[in-house]
């Protein structure tokens, strides 16, 4: 029986390994993590992440050929293939701070693999890493390997949160990069044969190591670039009376462009787009390519601009002050169908409004009060570095309340900001909400999900992204 061990039981490691276990009953999969609370949750009825369809997959294989454990060394020792899916956040200190990827977690995982291994292994980069990371990992592994042979593969993950299970069941492609040597090709084939249990052969792409590593950064940069492009257009639409949804539709019907990923928004969030582009920018700078670095940096700059533009619009339209006004925040997660708040635009918007002394009442169906308070009191980039976590600041707590109902959040509010596109926000009883709000009652739809004309008929003043007033 082939044994797989995955280091890192997070948003990628957990779902990815659960699907491998489900699709490959003859393979034993152990997912390990240093976080005791995460592993306890994986072994309970309350999984540590909210992801549609995940419970079902885990229930089918947990205890059969899928195991979650904190005994990292034992499972690495026993494995034939070790996936590494640890976090690779942006560095907060030292060389490259604010841009470069922090490979501390990756390096410690690699050193541990080298220390405990007593048999040959395939080591798979599942985390998103800077191009050429495999070279560094190889050095660490071979330096300490006592004659043991390691093959490094790059197998970046392309799932999106909220649709992880769907994406894993039916991926556009699986990418595997390896060394172009006989041993490298053999390792690529071994990993390919696992995915071939359910992914059609033509969708399993194989490349050299550096192409696979770079393709992941490139894919995220291209995706984020589309959002910044449409968001940049949304500003021009607001200035001219064009409607960004009509523009995006017209542009997207060109089959060379395509219709997906052109929704204007309050800005993109999530744990990866910003960090991966900053990482790409840093790599370009290190390779003496400042023009290329500058090009990609613009994607982040437009995203920051979009978030601050949103805040400015709220404040400007509410008579230039939100001081002591109650503002309801509907949605805090970075997108619907996830409880993940990493780099959510809601943090910047809330902090911007708090900067103007607003009182916030926040509701998100999947995010806890603790998480929201922590997010609002944390420094930039600290969220993925557990050691930097600070206690919640009392000044933030006073101005922020977290409630468990959209009607409670909006009661007596002067304005509503919709920051996540949860389906339930489309069908709220807006007549009831209007009656319980201060007048004039404002709606700022950061996701363009409500029917603005209907809300205007009720009496709301509605601001959408990139649409005429």
- Give the three-state DSSP class for 429: coil
**Minimum distance of ligand NAD from residue 76's CB (angstroms):** 9
∠ CA 299-13-43, rounded to 5°: 135
The neighbour count for residue 258, using CB atoms within 10 Å, is 12
Flag whether 272 is marked binding. Answer: yes
Q: How long, in residues, is the chain?
A: 469
**Minimum distance of ligand UGA from residue 427's CB (angstroms):** 19
Encoded tokens for 184: 């490298």
Q: How far is CA 239 from CA 141, 346, 412, 466, 469, in A?
A: 56, 24, 31, 8, 11
Site residue total, ligand UGA (CB under 6 A)? 21
Q: Residue 123's beta-bridge partner residues?
A: 82, 152
Residue listed under structure tokens 């009182």: 359
Q: Is 237 a catalytic residue?
A: no
Flag whether 11 is marked binding. Answer: yes
Rule CB under 6 A: is residue 160 a binding residue for ligand UGA?
Answer: yes
**Minimum distance of ligand NAD from residue 180's CB (angstroms):** 25
Binding mask 201-220 for ligand UGA (x = CB under 6 A): -------------------x
Q: What is the Cα–Cα distance from 254 to 79, expressed in whole angstroms?
A: 48
Q: What is the Cα–Cα distance from 88 to 129, expressed in whole angstroms?
A: 7
- The residue within the footprint of ligand UGA, chosen from 13, 96, 270, 339 (CB under 6 A), is 270
On whether the CB atoms of residues 87 and 127 are closer than 8 A, the answer is: yes
The alpha carbon dihedral of 324, 355, 302, 340 has a sign of: negative
- Of 6, 7, 5, 15, give the one whose Cα is nearest residue 340: 15
**CB-nearest residue to ligand NAD:** 10
Q: What is the Cα–Cα distance from 197 to 458, expressed in whole angstroms?
A: 54
Task: Choose from ligand UGA, ligand NAD, none: what does 452 bind? Cβ within 5-8 Å by kind.
Answer: none
**Minimum distance of ligand NAD from residue 167's CB (angstroms):** 9
Rule CB under 6 A: is residue 227 a binding residue for ligand UGA?
Answer: yes
Task: Choose from ligand NAD, ligand UGA, none: what does 206 bind? Cβ within 5-8 Å by kind.
Answer: none
Task: Choose from ligand NAD, ligand UGA, none: what does 223 bind? Cβ within 5-8 Å by kind.
Answer: ligand UGA
- Of 276, 302, 164, give the one whose Cα is nearest residue 221: 276
Rule CB under 6 A: is residue 366 a binding residue for ligand UGA?
Answer: no
With respect to ligand UGA, which residue has the nearer C-beta, 228 or 396?
228
% helix / strand / coil in the chain, to the nearest 5?
A: 45, 15, 40
Flag whether 12 is marked binding. Answer: yes
The neighbour count for residue 395, using CB atoms within 10 Å, is 10
Q: What is the Cα–Cα distance from 375 to 383, expressed in whole angstroms?
A: 7
Flag whether 90 is marked binding. Answer: yes
Task: Choose from ligand UGA, ligand NAD, none: what does 446 bind? Cβ within 5-8 Å by kind.
Answer: none
Flag whether 203 is marked binding. Answer: no
- The residue within the footprint of ligand UGA, chosen from 48, 177, 269, 352 (CB under 6 A), is 269
Q: How far is CA 402 from CA 307, 327, 330, 371, 419, in A?
A: 21, 12, 10, 10, 15
**Which positions lie near ligand NAD, rule CB under 6 A?**
7-13, 33-35, 38, 72, 85-88, 105, 108-109, 127-128, 157, 159, 161, 271-272
The neighbour count for residue 2, using CB atoms within 10 Å, is 14
Q: Out of 5, 24, 61, 272, which one is annotated catalytic?
A: 272
Flag whether 309 is marked binding. Answer: no
With respect to ligand NAD, which residue has the nearer C-beta, 28 or 157?
157
**Which residues make Cβ contacts (< 8 Å) with residue 453, sequence separation at least 6?**
none
> Which range of residues in 86-94, 265-273, 362-370, 404-412 is near ligand UGA by CB under 6 A?
265-273
Q: Count Cβ neighbours within 10 Å for each residue of 445-457 and write b for 16 or more, e otherwise.
A: bbbbbbebeebee
- The residue within the footprint of ligand UGA, chosen from 113, 165, 212, 272 (CB under 6 A), is 272
Rule CB under 6 A: is residue 334 a binding residue for ligand UGA?
Answer: yes
**Minimum distance of ligand NAD from residue 250's CB (angstroms):** 31
Which positions lie near ligand UGA, rule CB under 6 A?
128, 157-161, 220, 223, 227, 261-263, 265, 268-273, 334-335
> Which residues fall in the annotated binding site?
8-13, 33, 38, 86-90, 127-128, 161, 272-275, 342
Q: Give the catalytic positions in this structure.
A: 272
> Which residues fall in the annotated binding site for NAD(+)?
8-13, 33, 38, 86-90, 127-128, 161, 272-275, 342
């Amino acid at each position: 029986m082939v044994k797989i061990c995955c280091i890192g039981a997070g948003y990628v490691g957990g779902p990815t390994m659960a699907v491998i276990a489900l699709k490959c009953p003859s393979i034993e999969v152990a997912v390990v993590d240093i976080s005791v609370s995460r592993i306890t949750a994986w072994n309970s009825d309350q999984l540590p992440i909210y992801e549609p369809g995940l419970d079902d997959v885990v229930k089918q294989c947990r205890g059969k050929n899928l195991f979650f454990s904190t005994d990292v060394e034992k499972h690495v020792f026993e494995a034939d293939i070790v996936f590494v899916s640890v976090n690779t956040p942006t560095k907060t200190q030292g060389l490259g701070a604010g841009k470069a990827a922090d490979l501390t977690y990756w390096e410690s995982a690699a050193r541990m693999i080298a220390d405990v291994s007593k048999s040959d292994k395939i080591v798979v980069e599942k985390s998103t890493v800077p191009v050429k990371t495999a070279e560094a990992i190889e050095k660490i592994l071979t330096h300490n390997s006592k004659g043991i042979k390691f093959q490094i593969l790059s197998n970046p993950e392309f799932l999106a949160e909220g649709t992880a299970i769907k994406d894993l069941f039916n991926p556009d492609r699986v990418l595997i990069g390896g060394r172009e040597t006989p041993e490298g090709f053999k390792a690529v084939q071994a990993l390919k044969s696992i995915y071939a249990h359910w992914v059609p052969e033509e969708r399993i792409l194989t490349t050299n190591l550096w192409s696979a590593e770079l393709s992941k950064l490139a894919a995220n940069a291209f995706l984020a670039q589309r959002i910044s492009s449409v968001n940049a257009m949304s500003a021009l639409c607001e200035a001219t009376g064009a409607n960004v949804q009509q523009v995006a539709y017209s542009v997207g019907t060109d089959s060379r462009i395509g219709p997906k990923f052109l929704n204007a928004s309050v800005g993109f969030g999530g744990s990866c787009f910003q960090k991966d582009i900053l990482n790409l920018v840093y790599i370009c700078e290190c390779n003496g390519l400042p023009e290329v670095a500058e090009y990609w940096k613009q994607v982040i700059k437009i995203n920051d601009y979009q978030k601050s533009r949103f805040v400015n619009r709220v404040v400007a339209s509410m008579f230039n002050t939100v001081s002591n006004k109650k503002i309801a925040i509907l949605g805090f997660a970075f997108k619907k169908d996830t409880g993940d708040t990493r780099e959510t635009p809601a943090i910047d918007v809330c902090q911007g409004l708090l900067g103007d002394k607003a009182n916030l009442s926040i509701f998100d169906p999947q995010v806890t009060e603790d998480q929201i308070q922590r997010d609002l009191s944390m420094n930039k980039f600290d969220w993925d570095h557990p050691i930097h976590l600070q206690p919640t600041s009392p000044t933030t707590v006073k101005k922020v309340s977290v409630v468990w109902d959209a009607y409670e959040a909006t009661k007596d509010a002067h304005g509503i900001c919709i920051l996540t596109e949860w389906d339930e926000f489309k069908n709220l009883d807006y007549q009831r909400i209007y009656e319980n709000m201060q007048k004039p009652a404002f709606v700022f739809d950061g996701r363009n999900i409500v029917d603005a004309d209907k809300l205007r008929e009720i009496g709301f003043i509605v601001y959408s992204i990139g649409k005429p007033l």
